[in-house]
Amino acid sequence: MSEISAKTVAELRKKTGAGMMACKKALGDTDGDVEKATDLLRKMGVKLAASKSDRITSQGWIGSYIHSNGRLGAIVEVNCETDFVARNEKFQEFIKNVSMHVAAMSPQVITPEELDAATVERELEIYREQTKDKPGEIQDKIVDGKINKYYSEVCLLQQPYVKDDKKSVQDYLTETIAAIGENIQIRRFSRLEIGTD
């Protein structure tokens, strides 16, 4: 295979946010194919994020987004491992984008585990009632599909990311962890809109 050009490495870095050496290696492993290298980096990012998930995130930053009409806004706390990363440009961009997402998509919680158990059970009862005429196994699959759709509407990490709906906010978080190399956690958020409680 021919030498990977600096231009190709730069293109992959811009597309993925990954480091130069990781991009060079991914391009080398995929014979210079940018699309395949992107997929490879994403898979590596999932593994990297999983390996960092139990590391303590005691640093971070609070970011916000205010819509241009001044009637809608969000504030988000995102934690990381070091103060150095908290000031990193990619980390700051992540916070800004998540704040914008919260303002636009109005999630209720970060993860399904934070939902009130009674609320989830009430949703499940509705879905079971809607599918009661279906055979048991089919009913279970339909109910699972409906509850997952519900989670993707109300849980931040499961929502389709507002700037790229082909991935979830969780996918975006995982990519950012892979690019930065530290554990990152969205700790809390608040959304404000004029005229609503």
Q: Of the candidates 172, 175, 143, 142, which has an alpha carbon nearest to the alpha carbon of residue 156?
A: 172
Same domain, 84 and 180: yes
Residue 73's domain comprises: 59-110+155-193
| Mean local confidence (pLDDT), 167-183 | 89
Check residue 1 and give its pLDDT. Answer: 46
- The per-residue pLDDT for 10 is 80
Q: What is the CATH number of the domain that holds 82?
A: 3.30.479.20
- Residue 32 covered by a domain: yes
pLDDT one-digit tens code per residue, 69-125: 999 999 999 999 888 888 889 999 999 999 999 999 999 999 999 999 999 999 999
Same domain, 106 and 136: no
Regarding whether 167 and 86 lie in a shared domain, the answer is yes
Whether 102 and 161 map to the same domain: the answer is yes
User: What per-residue confidence (pLDDT) applies to 183?
Assistant: 87
Claim to verify: residue 178 and residue 149 sit in the same structural domain: no
- Whether residue 55 has pLDDT greater than 90: no
Q: What does pTM read for this prediction?
A: 0.72
